Structure 1
Amino acid sequence: MIYFRGCVAREKLNNIADATEKILKHTGIDYKLLENETCCGSFLLRTGFVSDAKEVMKNTLKEIGEEKIITSCAGCYKTFKKDYKEILGVELDVVHTSQLFNGLIKKGKLKPLFLDKIVTYHDPCHLGRHLGEYNAPREILDNISNLVEMERNKEKSRCCGAGGGVRAAFPEITENIAKMRIKDAEDVEAEILVTSCPFCLLNLKSASKDDKKVLDLSEIIMFK
């Protein structure tokens, strides 16, 4: 089993990869990291560089082989799950960390401490709208915290503002959208805003007055 960290968790938000690896080791899951992990190709696809993305995907596929993949990133998950099949004709065995953690909790292999705080959840577009995974993160948070929903949630969730190359090309638009999402969380008096995509986390942290109140799902499970 390969833990594919993804570009953002690997290069910018190591805390996500660190928390995830702690969970994997704690629950006795046998996994490995790719020695020369590259990009899954998601960003190139979303910004229109399809030919370049295809070459990156082919190279990454050689590294992965036929092993099962765990990924922290909603964008990586969608790319491996859907785009590799549509573009390369390869059906990969891939699971998002929210699904894996939820399964481990249900089996009693992972027992996070209850966090007596009001928590709300931001749905990443790739995980939610694109692949319909809304329940796994919420089941985890409902078990370990006081979960409240923002007015815009699930299929009607507001985007974090960073996807599709918008963060790189239109930083002011990205920042404004992220601030609106932070306001959504404040409106329900959430003490912590949780998401399950490093790209969302990076953008929401940049718009928050206190970035310690914006966490990845892996971090809140390991919260002390």
Structure 2
Amino acid sequence: MTDREEQMAAAYAAIGRYIVEFEQLIHWLRMWAVFSLTMAGLKNQGMAWAIVNSRAMNAQSLLALIQSFMAELELYSKESNPDGTKILDHFYKLVTNCMEERNKIVHGTWHIGWGNEFTTDWSKMDGFKGNPKKTGGGLVENLNTTPGELLEKCEEVERTVLLTQRMYVVTTFPTTTGKIEDNFSFDDGRLVASRPPKSASPTT
């Protein structure tokens, strides 16, 4: 395998890993939504899965559904639960950032392995994506990165998946796990799970 082929393979692998890690995040958001409905009294769990797996339920809609559930349960309330609400706000931002990054990666136009007869380094991943919200400099957003930088973003998605797993258990089984603020804290501005959960999530 040539240097160019090796560096191209690393770039494609980084893109693929991000997509795989992101789908794990979506899986746990679906689990969270389904068991929130089940614990609220929905007897037919298949109906809940039909909702979260419908074509209308994209990643943003799924997060919005979770947010509505948290508000309905008064877990998200600046008046009655300010500490838990602050944690949820930060968590929602982490998930939203992952979604935005995923859209850039999946819908971006990438120039991987491009060069000429004088090119000796193909490690840079040049790309761009149309961005109608962007002001100044046109409507195109540069996505230039490297496999190493993209793998760092993969690790952030992995961390968000772990936080989602914990948040799902804590908000679905609060009587056994305690409040949101009992399970999460901030470490130098970074949201972390502060102690192991008292119970495990249901097996599916």
Could you tell me the TM-score, scaled by structure 1's length? 0.22
TM-score between the two structures when normalised by the length of structure 2: 0.23
Q: Relative contact order (C-alpha < 8 Å, sep 6+): which is higher?
A: 2
**Higher-Rg member (1/2):** 2
